[in-house]
Homo-oligomer: A and B are copies of this chain.
Amino acid sequence: MANAVLACGASPIMADDSDEVEEITSLSTSLVINIGTLNKRSVQSMLLAGKRANALSHPVVLDPVGIGASRLRTQTALHLLEQIHFDVIRGNSSEIKTLAGQNASVQGVDADIADSIHQNNLDQYIALAQSLSLRYNAVMAITGAIDIVADNEKAFVIYNGHPLMSKITGTGCMLSGLLGGFVGANPKDVLLAAAAAVSLMGLCGQLAHEKMLQFDGGTSLFRTFLIDAISNMTTEILKRGVQIEVR
């Protein structure tokens, strides 16, 4: 995740001790809270960091990894959402359905196939994103085969991406890191910044897959080329490759 953030041009620092997270947050331009390696000790640190970022008007991103897989995760995510204002909330379809109180098919940290986004249920997922955007006053990013980035008024539907992205660790977490970098650099238009980060990540997945095939590689080389593509991204490549529509 830190390598992806470095690759996009941002400068990550990871801290989780309650004695330093407020100072570290003050040094930073944005904050990403990721509950992937959740433990009770770090929840207090998340609250302190989030409140400080809110006080400083730094954009804050939430990645509710595995919400629904345990009560600890669900309660922690909901508690964070009560105590902290998030500017962007990113999850897969199972996580976002759980957040909305819907019955998701949680299978650990991966989205269940039963919850996958396709043309037939796209409108429902956009409506879900927009109702959550209203509830939390946040840009919602639901990622999967099709990605949705929406606030209460506007939705971007993004067709970039590659199925192999779910066969390596950390693509969701990397994207949340990129979101932190992008909204930190463009806090005036969080929706657009978030849509740019999500489409960039998806496009990098496509480019990584093409290059992996050239070298007869597998999932690990794909992971290498994914971060390579982030580090080598240009406006030109991005403009040419993005497949996005506005709803």
Chain A residues with CB under 8 Å of chain B are: 2-3, 6-7, 11-17, 19-20, 23-24, 27-28, 37-41, 66, 69-73, 106-110, 167-169, 217-221, 223-232
Please give the count of copies of this chain that the complex contains: 3
Instruction: State whether A110 touches B169 (Cβ < 8 A).
Output: no
A66 to B38, CA, bound (A): 23
The residues of B that contact A19 with a CB separation of less than 8 Å are 40, 70-72
Nearest-neighbor residue (CB-CB) of A37 within chain B? B14
Q: Find chain B residues with CB under 8 A from A24 CB.
A: 69-70, 108
By the criterion CB–CB under 8 Å, are A6 and B218 in contact?
no
- Residue in B6, B20, B167 whose beta carbon sits within 8 Å of that of A169 in the complex: B6
CA distance A73 to B218 in the complex (A): 35
Other-chain residue from B107, B110, B220 in contact with A225 (beta carbon distance below 8 A):
B220
Q: Nearest Cβ in chain B — how far from A98, in angstroms? A: 13
- Kindly provide the distance from the CB of A116 to the nearest chain B CB, expressed in whole angstroms: 15
Q: Report Cα–Cα, A54/B181, bound state, in Å.
A: 42
A230's nearest neighbour on chain B, judged by CB, is B218
CB-based contact A168/B220 at 8 Å: no
Could you tell me if B11 and A38 are in contact, using CB atoms closer than 8 angstroms? Answer: no
Q: Give me 27 A-to-B residue pairs in the complex whose CB atoms sit less than 8 angstroms apart, sorted by A's number.
A: A2-B169, A3-B223, A6-B169, A7-B219, A7-B220, A11-B108, A13-B69, A13-B108, A15-B38, A16-B37, A17-B38, A17-B39, A17-B40, A19-B70, A19-B72, A23-B72, A27-B107, A28-B108, A167-B231, A217-B224, A218-B228, A218-B229, A218-B231, A219-B228, A220-B223, A221-B228, A224-B224
Given contacts A11-B110, A27-B69, A69-B27, contact A3 B39 (CB under 8 A): no
Q: Smallest CB–CB gap between A218 and chain B, Å? A: 3
- Chain B residues whose C-beta falls within 8 Å of the C-beta of A227 in the assembled complex: 218-220
A205 to chain B minimum Cβ distance, whole angstroms, is 14
Q: A-B pairs with the 6 shortest C-beta distances?
A: A218-B228, A220-B227, A20-B70, A218-B231, A13-B108, A219-B231
Contacts of A12 in B (CB 8 A): 108
Cα separation A26 to B7 with both chains bound (whole Å): 38
Bound Cα distance A218, B9 (Å):
13
Tell me the minimal C-beta distance from A234 to chain B in angstroms.
Answer: 12
